[in-house]
A = this chain, B = another copy of it.
C-alpha cells in the first residue's frame, strides 16, 4: 500500500506524515490531496474560537471525548489546533504534548497543532487542506480550534459548518467590544468557566448583543433561521459538555434540512478555488516578467516617485 492508501485505511502515522507534507506545501502532499479528495465531503467541520484564558483547549479536549463516545479503533474525532506561536518558541509542539497527555489513551482522537508562520493567508489554506485530508480519511468530526477574534480567525471559522464561540468571565474590561466582531459568525455561544464570578453577567450581555444583532438582521436576511443558543459550561469540571455536543448535532440537522450544509460547502469550495486561482495567476505572471524592471519599479514607488496603483497601471500597459 502507498501512503494515501494507508492513510485512507486509518493508519495514524501515514495520516500524520501526509499532514506534514501538506503543511509544507510539497507536491507530494498536494498530489495526495488530489487522490483522496473524492472521498471527502462527509465530515462535520466544527470551528471553535475564543480568546486566551477562556479555557478553550480544555473545552475542545472534553468535547472531543464527548463526540467520540466510547474508545474504539475507529477514527472518531480530529482536532486541528491553530496555535499563534512562532516556530522559535516551539509552542505548537508544547501544546501538542500537553494535549496528548490528556488524550493519550484515545486512538480514535487525533490531534494536530499548527503554528502560524506569518505567511499572509497561508494558515487558512493549510488548515483548509488539512481538514480536507482528515475528512477524506474518514473522521466524522473535525474540530478546528483558533484563538481570538482577528481576521484570520474569521476566515478559518468560515471553513466550518458549525462555529462555536467561547467566552469566559473575567478576561478584562473591553471584552464586550472585542466580542462583537465574531458574534455574527457564531452558530453557538458558550460561556465557559460558568462557576466563576461574572459568568451570569457575561451570559446576559451576550444575550443582549445577540438580540440587537437579530433585530438588525431580521429586516433583510433571507437566510434560514437558526437561533444562536448561549450555553453555560465548565470544561474543567466537565459540565455543559454533553449539552454542547447535543446542540452541535442539532445544528448539523438544521444545516441538512435547510440546505445550508450544501451552501456552506459550496462557499468553502469557491473560496478555496479562487485562492488557488489567484496564486496560480500571480505565479505564472511573475515567472515571465523582467526582474530588473520589476525591481526598478519597486524602487521608484519606495522613493514616492509614483503611486503603487499608477505604477501598476503603467507597468501592465508596457
Contacts and interface: CB of A to CB of B under 8 A. Distances in A.
Contacts of A213: 86, 88-89
A213 to B, nearest CB: 5
A316 B151 CA distance: 30
B276 A52 contact: no
Contacts of A198: none
A302 B38 contact: no
Contact of A216 (B88, B273, B307): B88
Residue picked from A30, A150, A172, A306, most chain B C-beta under 10 Å:
A150
B147 A149 contact: yes
A61 interface: no
Nearest to A265: B302
A13 interface: no
Interface in A149-170: 149-155, 168, 170
A151 B146 CA distance: 11
Interface string A80-102: 00011110110100110000000
Contact of A86 (B83, B116, B183, B312): B183
Interface stretch (A1-9, A67-75, A224-232, A279-287): A279-287
A93 to B, nearest CB: 11
B151 A116 contact: yes
Contacts of A316: 280
A298 B270 contact: yes
A181 B124 CA distance: 16
Contacts of A95: 177
A278 B5 CA distance: 37
B266 A277 contact: no
Contacts of A57: 174
Given A86-B184, A149-B150, A276-B309, 17 more contacts: A33-B307, A37-B307, A37-B310, A38-B304, A52-B178, A53-B172, A84-B181, A85-B177, A86-B180, A86-B181, A88-B217, A147-B148, A151-B152, A171-B171, A266-B302, A272-B308, A281-B282
